[in-house]
C-alpha cells in the first residue's frame, strides 16, 4: 500500500512501555493538567454527543467522576508528550450517568474521527475487552489483578502467580485475483449487498501463508498460489490483527462454497467493481477495513 497507514493505527502515540512500571509517575499523570482521558464503557467510547460524534477526551482535571467509577485506569502512552489514559467503566445495563458526553461505538463513527483518535480509542476498547475476559486465571481459576498500568494481569493465587498479557488473535485476509478478475464473497450476516475478500483465523502450527491457502480452499474450494504479504491492520473488535495477503487463483476452477461461512462468492471483473453502485444491491468492503484497501489497491493498478 502506498505508504498510507490503515485506519486504527497511528504513529503519533509513543506507548512508552518503560513508564508502565513506574506507579508514582502514573499516579502523577492522573492529576497532571495536560493528561487526556479516553473513556470506555462496554465496547463503546465517550463522544461529545450523538449529533456531533466527536470523541470526548477529558482533561485529567475534569475526569474525577470518571476515575471514581472506573474499574481500570490504563496508561496508553504519550502523544506529543501528553499522557493519554484509558478509563474502563464497569459493565452495566445502561450507561453510567455522566455530566458530559455519550457512549457510541467507534466502528459506527470512525469516519468522523481524526485517525490518531480512532487508533487510540480502538486500542483502549481492545484492552478493555481483554481485561473483562481475563478477570480469572486460566491456569488455577483464582482472580487476577491489573498491574503495570493495565498491561498485565497478575494471578492472585499464592501457588500460581501467573502473569497474563493482552492477546491478539491473528487472522489472514486475502485478495485472490486472476488477471482482471477478483474473487469476492458475502456472508449471510453482512449488511445488504456487502461483499469482501476472504478471511480466516490462523490455527496453531500454521504459517500465515498456509492459512491463506487453507482458508480459500475451505471457503470456496479452490487452490491459490503466489501468496504474498501486503500489509496488516489492527482489528481490536474485539481482539484481532488482520494480516493482508494477495494470492492468485484460476477463475475457471469450480467454486465449492462452505455453506456455514459463505452465502455467495464469485469472480468480479475489474470494470464491474469500479462501477460498484455502493448500495443494497452491491457494496465494496467497508471503508475502514483492510479488505477495502486490498480491493482499491488492485483497482488502482489499471
Interface ranges with Zn ion (CB under 5 A): 137, 139-140, 155, 157, 160, 162
Cβ of residue 45: shortest distance to Zn ion, in angstroms? 31
Rounded distance between C-alpha atoms, residue 55 and residue 39, angstroms:
10
Question: Helices then strands (H, E): number in the chain?
Answer: 7, 16
Q: Which is nearer to Zn ion, 141 or 277 (CB)?
A: 141
Minimum separation from the CB atom of position 147 to Zn ion (A): 14
CB of 22 to Zn ion, least distance (A): 26
- Based on CB atoms, which residue is closest to Zn ion, 135 or 223? 135
Q: Are 84 and 13 in contact (CB under 8 A)?
A: yes
CB of 132 to Zn ion, least distance (A): 18
Query: Among residues 60 and 155, whose Cβ is nearest to Zn ion?
Result: 155
Taking CB atoms within 8 Å and a gap of at least 24, the contacts of 194-198 are: 194/283, 194/285, 194/286, 195/268, 195/282, 195/283, 195/284, 195/285, 196/285, 196/286, 196/289, 196/291, 197/173, 197/285, 197/291, 197/294, 197/295, 198/173, 198/174, 198/265
Element spanning 212, H or E: helix 208-220
By beta-carbon proximity to Zn ion, the closer residue of 151 and 186 is 151
CB-nearer residue toward Zn ion: 32 or 160: 160
Q: Give the contacts of 18 (CB within 8 A, at least 6 positions apart).
A: none
- The residue (of 15 and 162) whose beta carbon lies closer to Zn ion is 162
Is residue 20 within 8 Å of 148, Cβ to Cβ? Answer: yes
For the bound state, the minimum distance from the C-beta of residue 155 to Zn ion, rounded and expressed in Å, comes to 3
Amino acid at each position: 500500500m502506498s505508504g498510507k497507514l490503515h485506519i486504527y493505527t497511528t504513529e503519533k502515540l509513543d506507548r512508552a512501555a518503560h513508564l508502565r512500571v513506574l506507579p508514582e509517575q502514573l499516579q502523577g499523570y492522573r492529576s497532571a493538567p495536560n493528561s487526556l482521558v479516553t473513556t470506555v464503557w462496554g465496547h463503546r467510547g465517550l463522544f461529545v454527543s450523538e449529533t456531533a460524534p466527536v470523541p470526548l477526551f477529558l482533561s485529567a482535571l475534569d475526569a474525577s467522576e470518571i476515575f471514581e467509577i472506573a474499574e481500570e485506569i490504563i496508561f496508553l502512552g504519550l502523544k506529543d508528550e501528553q499522557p493519554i489514559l484509558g478509563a474502563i467503566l464497569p459493565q452495566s445495563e445502561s450507561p453510567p450517568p455522566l455530566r458530559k458526553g455519550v457512549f457510541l461505538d467507534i466502528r459506527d463513527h470512525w469516519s468522523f474521527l481524526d485517525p490518531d483518535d480512532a487508533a487510540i480509542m480502538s486500542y483502549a476498547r481492545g484492552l478493555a475487552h481483554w481485561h473483562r475476559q481475563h478477570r480469572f486465571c486460566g491456569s488455577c481459576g483464582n482472580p487476577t489483578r491489573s498491574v503495570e498500568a493495565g498491561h498485565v494481569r497478575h494471578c492472585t493465587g499464592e501457588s500460581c502467580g501467573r502473569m497474563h498479557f493482552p492477546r491478539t488473535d491473528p487472522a489472514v485476509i486475502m485478495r485472490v485475483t486472476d488477471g482482471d478478475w477478483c474473487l469476492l464473497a458475502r456472508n449471510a450476516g453482512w449488511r445488504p449487498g456487502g461483499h469482501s475478500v476472504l478471511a480466516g483465523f490462523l490455527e496453531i502450527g500454521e504459517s500465515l501463508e498456509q492459512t491463506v491457502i487453507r482458508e480459500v480452499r475451505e471457503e470456496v474450494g479452490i487452490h491459490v498460489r503466489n501468496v504474498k504479504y501486503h500489509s496488516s491492520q489492527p482489528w481490536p473488535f474485539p481482539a484481532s490483527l488482520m494480516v493482508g495477503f494477495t494470492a492468485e487463483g484460476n477463475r475457471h476452477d469450480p467454486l465449492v462454497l462452505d455453506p456455514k461461512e459463505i452465502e455467495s462468492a464469485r469472480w468480479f471483473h475489474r470494470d464491474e467493481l469500479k462501477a460498484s453502485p455502493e448500495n443494497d444491491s452491491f457494496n465494496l468492503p467497508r471503508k475502514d477495513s483492510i479488505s477495502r484497501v486490498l480491493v482499491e489497491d488492485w483497482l488502482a493498478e489499471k
